[in-house]
Amino acid sequence: FHKRIQFNATNVKSDPFGHFIIVSGLLIRKPVVLVNIYAPNWHDDKFIRKVVSLIPELNSHQLIFRADLNCVINPVLDRSKPTYLNPLKMSKTVLWTTWVVFIHEILSEPSTFRTLQTSSSVASKQSDGIL
């Protein structure tokens, strides 16, 4: 955060390998949970489940989620000539987990809900999302 942005961290969880950081705190006096994920290059659906299970305070804090998941969500649209045409297990887990968090946010605070925005890299090899 820029030094002029008022943010007070109250809880920090991180991966020793640098694959994720989860920070709870107050952003301009509003409770938020910031999640940033840089997934491993191998497709491990257990990784994303583990990270999501570590996200605290979803009932009382707004979630801000950013991820580079290092997986192709839709192999048909992948322009890097994939060797497989079926979505990998991690891709399916990512989609399922994203929708679970997305629906939770709608149900918990519909008046402050932010839309899910996705974009892909030039090579269409990553999924980036902000919630």
What string of pLDDT tens digits covers the 131 residues of the chain? 788 889 999 999 999 999 999 999 999 999 999 999 888 777 676 787 788 889 888 888 988 888 777 666 566 666 666 555 455 555 555 555 555 555 555 455 544 444 444 444 333 333 344 33
pLDDT of residue 113: 45
User: How many secondary structure helices (H) and strands (E) does the chain include?
Assistant: 2, 6
pLDDT of residue 121: 38
Domain residue limits, the chain? 7-130
Q: How far apart are CA 16 and CA 33, in angstroms?
A: 19
How many CB atoms lie under 10 A from the CB of residue 116? 14
What CATH architecture does domain 7-130 belong to?
4-Layer Sandwich (3.60)
